[in-house]
Amino acid sequence: MARNKPEILAKAKTWLTDIFDVDTHKEINHLIENNPVELEESFYKNAAFGTGGMRGIMGVGTNRINKYTLGKNTQGLSNLLKTEFKGEKLKVAIAYDCRNNSKELAQMVAEVFSANEIEVYLFSELRPTPELSFAVKYLDCHAGIVLTASHNPPEYNGYKVYWQDGGQLVPPQDTKLVDIINNLEYDEVNFKAKPEFIHTIDTEVDKAFQKASVENGSFNTEASAKDNLNIVFTSLHGTACKTNPQILEKAGYKNVFLVEEQKEPNGNFPTVKSPNPEEPEALKMALKLAEEKNADIVIGTDPDGDRLGVAVRDLNGEMILLNGNQTMLVMTWFLLEQHKKQGKLSANSFVASTIVSTPMLKNITEDFSTQYHEVLTGFKWIAKLIKDNPDLDFVGGGEESFGFMVGDFVRDKDAATATLLACEIAAQMKAEGSSFYEQLLKLYTQYGLYREELISLVKKGIEGEAEIKQMLIDLRENPWQEIDGEKVVLIEDYHTSIANNLQDKIEEEINIPKSNVLIYYTENGTKIAARPSGTEPKIKFYISVNSDLDKVENFDAENAKLAEKIKRIKNELQLG
Domains with residue ranges and CATH for the chain: 1-44 (no CATH), 46-201 (3.40.120.10), 208-447 (3.40.120.10), 451-573 (3.30.310)
Angle in degrees, 0-180, between the axes of helices 415-431 and 324-341, rounded to the nearest 10? 70
Query: What local confidence, expressed as pLDDT, does residue 51 receive?
Result: 57
Between CA 298 and CA 320 the distance in angstroms is: 9
pLDDT, tens digit (0-9, with 9 covering 90-100), for 172-199:
899 899 999 999 999 999 999 999 999 9
Chain-centre distance for alpha carbon 530? 18
Between CA 488 and CA 522 the distance in angstroms is: 4
Task: Give me the amino acid identity at 41.
Answer: E
Between CA 76 and CA 425 the distance in angstroms is: 44
Are 241 and 263 contacting, i.e. CB atoms less than 8 angstroms apart?
yes
pLDDT, tens digit (0-9, with 9 covering 90-100), for 487-501:
999 999 999 999 999
Residue burial 286-295, b: 16+ Cβ < 10 Å; e: rest = bbebbeeeeb
Largest CA-CA distance found in the chain, in angstroms, rounded: 72
Query: What local confidence, expressed as pLDDT, does residue 241 receive?
Result: 93
119 in helix, strand or coil? Answer: strand
Query: What local confidence, expressed as pLDDT, does residue 52 receive?
Result: 62
* CA distances from residue 284 to 179, 255, 454 in whole angstroms, order as listed: 44, 20, 21
Query: What local confidence, expressed as pLDDT, does residue 536 receive?
Result: 76
Are 283 and 277 contacting, i.e. CB atoms less than 8 angstroms apart?
yes
Query: What local confidence, expressed as pLDDT, does residue 53 receive?
Result: 79
Q: What are phi and psi of 134, to 5 degrees?
A: -65, -45
Between CA 289 and CA 274 the distance in angstroms is: 19
- First-last CA distance in the chain: 33
* Residues of the chain under the 50 pLDDT cut: none
Name the DSSP letter for residue 210: H
Active site annotation includes 515: no
Between CA 114 and CA 191 the distance in angstroms is: 9
Are 198 and 106 contacting, i.e. CB atoms less than 8 angstroms apart?
no
Residues with Cβ within 8 Å of residue 262, at least 6 apart in sequence = 234, 235, 236, 237, 271, 272, 285, 286
Chain-centre distance for alpha carbon 440? 23
Query: What local confidence, expressed as pLDDT, does residue 533 receive?
Result: 85
**Do β-strands 349-354 and 371-375 pair in parallel, antiparallel, or remain unpaired?**
parallel
Q: Quick count: other Cβ atoms within 10 Å of Cβ 29?
A: 13
Are 336 and 346 contacting, i.e. CB atoms less than 8 angstroms apart?
no
Query: What local confidence, expressed as pLDDT, does residue 303 receive?
Result: 95
Query: What local confidence, expressed as pLDDT, does residue 50 receive?
Result: 64
Are 275 and 283 contacting, i.e. CB atoms less than 8 angstroms apart?
no
| Catalytic choice (42, 133, 150, 213) | 150
Query: What local confidence, expressed as pLDDT, does residue 3 receive?
Result: 85
